[in-house]
Amino acid sequence: FNLDIAMVITGQWPCYVDTARDHGVRLMVATLVPISLLFVVLLAYWFMTLWKSMIARLPERELKRFRNGAANICLSIGLLLLFLVYPSVSKLVFQTFVCSELENGETYLRVDPQISCDSEDYRRMRIFAFVMMILFPLLVPVVFAVPLFWYRRTLRALPPHRGHLPWAAMRPHMRGMAFLFSMYLPEFYMFEVFELWRKLLQ
């Protein structure tokens, strides 16, 4: 599944019809909106734990259990969001570096011919795309791989499953990333990460 946030935001409103074709606008929307949503999730976690500790005044044991539960929910939302936007964001980022040359020697962005690759605006866009390339196409698979590798022994010990997970045998922190391995046999728990890299190299 591929969630193209830039298309959803810029393609649904009449006043954004022209900007929907502007690669620079789509690139900024596609990258900055997920980052903003992740900050919102972090703020929600901070607010909920603050409210429970200072206003609700939960006992320490219940507060710790609440924090763990809230962390699991926020982790699930964050990982799922990154998983959904990863293909479309990566595609937009890499399209920024593909230019075509005309017979007169001028170059333009292949995905958006109205943008000259010799312009100062394009140079700034390329710097922004380079930063986003590190954050999304390169870093997101690592974000998925690290917790999977951390819980590798538990994942390999799970009974064979394909979509029917033994939730009781899983640690609470693992349930938030179950969508990454639930469709594969336990020994192939890292397959989804390799699939992301494969799609990236196509």
pLDDT at 172: 67
pLDDT at 10: 57
Whole-angstrom distance, CA of residue 58 vs CA of residue 125: 49
Whole-angstrom distance, CA of residue 88 vs CA of residue 67: 33
- Per-10-residue mean pLDDT for the chain, 202 residues long? 64 46 87 95 90 74 82 89 92 94 90 92 96 94 92 82 59 77 85 87 73
> Which residues are CB-neighbours of 133 under 8 A, at least 6 positions away?
93, 94
Give the residue carrying structure tokens 């979509």.
Answer: 163
Residue 126, classed as helix, strand or coil, is: helix
pLDDT at 12: 47
Tokens of 66: 């609440």
Give the residue carrying structure tokens 């986003």.
Answer: 132
Spatial CA neighbour of 94 closest among 144, 151, 31, 43: 31
Question: What number of other Cβ atoms are within 10 A of residue 89's Cβ?
Answer: 27
Bridge-partner residues for 100, per DSSP?
Answer: 108
Residue 114, classed as helix, strand or coil, is: strand
**Averaged pLDDT score across all residues of the chain:** 83
